[in-house]
Amino acid sequence: MVKAACSVQDCQRPVVAKGLCNAHYCRVKQWGDVRAAMPIGARNGRFNRHWKGGEVTMPDGRVLIYAPEHPNCGPCGLYVLRYRLVMEKHLGRYLTDLEIVHHKNGVVNDDRIENLEIMTQSEHAKCHDTLDTGNCALQTLRGKKLKPRKKSAKFIKL
């Protein structure tokens, strides 16, 4: 004996009651609607009951945006740094892995386009390593002038 399919579009589950499968019938009982746009068993992204809009702040202050379809997602494969998205929107293209987005004023959650600039990895390292040149806003951190790094002593051959 073949059971009829659920009356919700694109649902092929067998009917349990009132022309609906068990999942859609439970939704009608709980919410009064089948919520056809929400996939059965979906627990991630906006379908998760703990969803807070897809924005996560890291402990260092940088903001991650939920973008699972983005080609350059981070290590977890779901989030992209907000300042990279802002720069990509400004340029009208995706950033390459070799392009670093630098915050001119040193505040990592200040993602205004006038505060961002693109650098190579070597340019970015020079900006953060050469604190005595005055080319980086990170020279002053919380109003305190940072001292230049001392050159490391070379090892003497014996």
Residue 134 lies in a domain: yes
Task: State whether 29 and 73 are in the same domain.
Answer: no
Cα 129–Cα 132–Cα 135 angle in degrees, nearest 5: 75
How far is C-alpha 11 from the geometric centre of its chain's CA atoms? 32
Q: Is the pLDDT of residue 130 over 70?
A: no
Task: State whether 20 and 83 are in the same domain.
Answer: no
Task: State whether 13 and 85 are in the same domain.
Answer: no
Looking at residue 13, the DSSP 8-state letter turns out to be P
Tell me how many domains the chain contains: 2
In the prediction, which pLDDT does 1 show?
57
Q: What's the sign of the alpha-carbon dihedral 94, 100, 103, 106?
A: positive
Residue 49 lies in a domain: no
Show the domain range for 23.
Answer: 1-38
Task: State whether 69 and 32 are in the same domain.
Answer: no
pTM exceeding the 0.75 threshold for the entire prediction: no
Residue 151 lies in a domain: no
Higher pLDDT, 62 or 147: 62
Contact 110, 138 (CB under 8 A): no
Q: Is the pLDDT of residue 110 over 80?
A: yes
Mean pLDDT of 80-106: 92
Task: State whether 84 and 119 are in the same domain.
Answer: yes
Contacts 24+ apart (CB under 8 A), 49-56: 55/82
Q: Is the pLDDT of residue 2 over 70?
A: no
